[in-house]
Amino acid sequence: MIIAVDGPAASGKGTLARKIAAHYGLPYLDTGSLYRATARDLLVAKSDHENVNEAVRAAQNIDPDSLDDPKLREPGIGEAASLVAPIPQVRAALLQYQRRFCTGPKGAVLDGRDIGTVVCPDANVKLFIKADTKVRARRRFLELEASGLMMTEAQVLADLQKRDERDRSRHSSPLVKAVDAHLLDTTNLDIESSYKAAIELIEGVLGDGGKTD
C-alpha cells in the first residue's frame, strides 16, 4: 500500500506522515530530506545550485544513513534545498531514489510536494495537507526556537512565503494538489486531531482492508 502525503512547508505533513506510517506498519520516507541532503552535500563540496553537474552528482550519491542529520533541519539548508529542487536533472535523480523506496514489498508512506502527482501517481491514498500561512510560520518558529535557533517570527514567515512561491511556481513538478488527493486543512487542528482526521480520510478510501499486518 502506498500513501502519498503532500503539502507546503510546515503544514504538518511530516509529523502526520510519520504517524500514519507507524499506524499501518509501513516504511516512511521524508522526501524533503533528499533535497536537503543534496543541498547540504553541495555546500560541503563548496558548490551551489548554479553548478548543475555537481548538484546532480550530489543527488545521485545520497547516503541514506545521512538523512537523519539534524543539520538538515537548519533554515539555511531549507533555503538551499528550495534552490536545488527546481533543477529537472536533480529531480530525475531523486525520483529514482523515491521509486526504489516505494517498490518494497509492503509499500510505503512518502511525504513531499509531488508525491501524488509525479512520484506515486498510482498511490492507494493521496492526502494534501494545507494550513494558513501565518499558522505554519508560527509552528516553524516554535520548532526553531525549541532547537535554539534565533530567528524572529516575521523572518520565518517571510522565508516560508518565499519558499512557497518557489515550490508553487517552478516549472518542474510544482507543488500542486493531485486531482484525486483528499484535502486536509490543519489550520485549527493540533497534531492528534490532524492525525485522527487523516486516519478517518484514509479509512474512508480503503474501507477496513488497509492494515498490512
The SS3 call for residue 187 is: coil
Euclidean distance between CA atoms 15 and 70, whole angstroms: 16
The residue (of 132 and 165) whose beta carbon lies closer to ligand DC is: 165
Euclidean distance between CA atoms 116 and 124, whole angstroms: 10
Q: Is 113 in the site for ligand DC (CB under 6 A)?
A: yes
Q: Minimum Å distance from CB 93 to ligand DC?
A: 13
Q: Which helix (H) or strand (E) holds 129?
A: strand 125-130
Q: Looking at 3, 4, 5, 9, which residue binds ligand DC (CB under 6 A)?
A: 9
Phi first, then psi: give them for residue 29, nearest 5 degrees. Answer: -130, 120
Q: Looking at 24, 82, 139, 181, which residue binds ligand DC (CB under 6 A)?
A: 82
Residue type (1 letter), 104: G
- Position of minimal CB gap to ligand DC: 32
CB 199 within 8 A of CB 23: yes
Q: Is 36 in the site for ligand DC (CB under 6 A)?
A: yes
Euclidean distance between CA atoms 25 and 122, whole angstroms: 20
Q: Is 5 in the site for ligand DC (CB under 6 A)?
A: no
The length of the chain is 213
Q: Is 112 in the site for ligand DC (CB under 6 A)?
A: yes
The residue (of 44 and 200) whose beta carbon lies closer to ligand DC is: 44
Phi first, then psi: give them for residue 126, nearest 5 degrees. Answer: -125, 130
The residue (of 165 and 200) whose beta carbon lies closer to ligand DC is: 165
The residue (of 15 and 203) whose beta carbon lies closer to ligand DC is: 15
CB 11 within 8 A of CB 130: yes
Total residues binding ligand DC (CB under 6 A)? 14
Q: Looking at 29, 55, 81, 156, which residue binds ligand DC (CB under 6 A)?
A: 81
The residue (of 1 and 9) whose beta carbon lies closer to ligand DC is: 9
Q: Minimum Å distance from CB 135 to ligand DC?
A: 16
CB 90 within 8 A of CB 56: yes
Positions in 143-172 near ligand DC (CB under 6 A):
163, 167
The residue (of 21 and 81) whose beta carbon lies closer to ligand DC is: 81
Could you tell me the CA-to-CA distances from 5 to 37, 54, 182, 184 in Å, in that order? 20, 29, 10, 10
Give the binding site for ligand DC (CB under 6 A): 9, 31-32, 35-36, 78, 81-82, 85, 112-114, 163, 167
